[in-house]
Structure 1
């Protein structure tokens, strides 16, 4: 079984050579990568290590080295890869997700350690990665899965024997991940290759435990029933007939139950935009629907504090393309260095890397709990929520907000009426979502907060 390791340097033959003097010096002078390799070999069956150095001796590296590292593992035949590092910076998320999704959709199983600082980390939090944190035994926790993408807790301390010398490795998330990597290798050695979703169920022995947002897409076929937006999908799209392109896409985006019944057996990940309550059990691929998101919200634990970042509500008329507006605004905030958490009540928001916040059949307090943990773990700087305007007195998730903005279209274009509690209203009108217009909106929002 070939297993790849992306880490600090693993010296040539270091996993075979046993130098007792080197081991005893300063409680063992193996590199971080060599320790991870020793853990995998200790618990794995017939393991061959394929290593690629992307970290220096101090554990510092660049995410730009990740593509070359995964490419080397792939070309060398390693379909299981251990990554005992990550980043918590929101600017790195999109780049890492794109790389991870590419190799995951080529059949690679990636196991990654979560950050030791407790925040959501990348790549561990992605649905196409098995995220691992330190724990006493191999176990799961649905709350940690929902909020941080951590699939398993695993033992971080391991007794390593090297000839006549034995030692306990360091503790930390980065040494819990190799244990899970070995377990994945053993599972595949025993039962044959399987999808990451089936691996999660096999290791946990639990059903419907892992609830993810649809961040896994590299290339999708999107139903012609879907009415698109001005904004671009976060993934690539194949516009050919599904029967023609089925081997070139990893995901199909469906709009109604008839499509679902026709295409469910195609063996692809599914994003379902219909409102039906579909009963999906033991599906071997990723599946997302409004009910998955509602479960993610309802299973969130109660918040333990208050949200201490600004909250801006955007109430929009039905003829406003709210997703394209929020997508442009989110990108503008990122360009200015702000990590904006953006949610919307339109179900297709997930296709544009925005959070879907359903307004039906979900307790308002649970949505607030969910947002509290998401924004806390993701270190968000501001919360932007889009909600269709129903009445002047409609209920909001948060009883108090820092800013209420109404969006409507008139003859001049898109009009924003900005209302700050205990302040006069301000208005902005523009004809399109060009960068300079969104910059004006951002600066207006910042100026009144």
Structure 2
């Protein structure tokens, strides 16, 4: 004789005296397994229980586990309740609840995976606030959301996705409650209860989770296919590389060799550059060069000692070598010598064999399904580095913060916008800088960045650092190119808790004020520090692209005094004050806790 199908309902408990439950024996326990003693105060669990009681397959045994005493879900209590349900050998667990910010993701995911391994079908509702929530978003769980268009309790849509799986009836409906006895409400919680009842009629005790998904798809009113193909190329492993040409991006790599985990064998440039034969230390007198190199002619490259060729931006160099395609020859020889290529520019025109080249890019084909617009809320502290213009050392600051904070024993997650970011161990890159290869705009960009940030959160870093490109607020509005759409998308998508704003010595105070106000009004951020780039314009009429000279210590002190008096925000000098900046960041987040 087949045993009864057991369904655990983890919720706020049941109002036993409700008139709908006359002559109904209600089994209700706490997450520790002991009988419930106090009366239920929240009608939510009563409503969920009544839906499942009325609509589930005949003969099901319903076990109520009271794990919620208020509007908030305690994840520790939820984990205990899930463990109890597993011990009771239930077949279905209904979770018409969840959390949008989970501070114990690892243990919640682990217990859900354990239930999955035991053949238990977990069904959980997404948050009604429109965001992603857990455990519904876990792949081990059937995540349920709702739509007003579904008006019948036994109708539902199946979604081919590993996050949202079912769309069911969640519109306004008459529900059993406690005070008052009935309530007209809607929400994903009740859609979840309807789905639990539906599944109970489709499965048997031995049905696997995969079979349950197939049964849902076969019995759905319609199947929603989310068109998404994960075709993103994986970052290439590098052991020993050569770099070419001696450009700004390559200089950045050479200046921070201590932060890369591969060796640089040689530095190359074209003979027309005027740099062949010079030492890197001569051309970068202010940088901390770990190992000096004599720049060599790219035509004399030795492929024997390298596994990777790192190629910087090509456009400026192309003008100097119009009669010969150095890049075509280089790419061809890399393939011939089985040397992979890391290129900051697209090399599709050279038709390089697949697998030999990696270019930091975000393409249209990588856009994730919209999933009703649901986004993840982040559960880690986030520090943002933004600026008032380009050429301020923002990436240098991000690298210095990475180095110094990691030296103090903290783990870091990092999302950068410089195309070389992944070479320094950043988790992800969204390369919106010079010659950007990002094809996404507006909401697509926000959604993509949100997924990157969530992936970093799941790695459990102590802090996440994000860094943007160029300015933050448009300085002028006379040309469409002046509008900083990508920077705005990056700001609102990363949602930093604290921001370090890089400013120029010559920035107008009113423009700094506009930038601070924009950052703090566009996101839940607080600008906690200014970092001054230590140069001034020789001729202000030339603007930010004119010739610059290094400011003196007295000039910085004078500017610092003015800025701190006007804004009340601590002000530091790039490079020189990095330890103080790190102390300030740590103090801020410690105070927040």
Which protein, 1 or 2, shows the higher relative CO under an 8 Å CA cutoff with sep ≥ 6?
Answer: 1
- TM-score under structure 1 normalisation? 0.50
- TM-score under structure 2 normalisation? 0.40
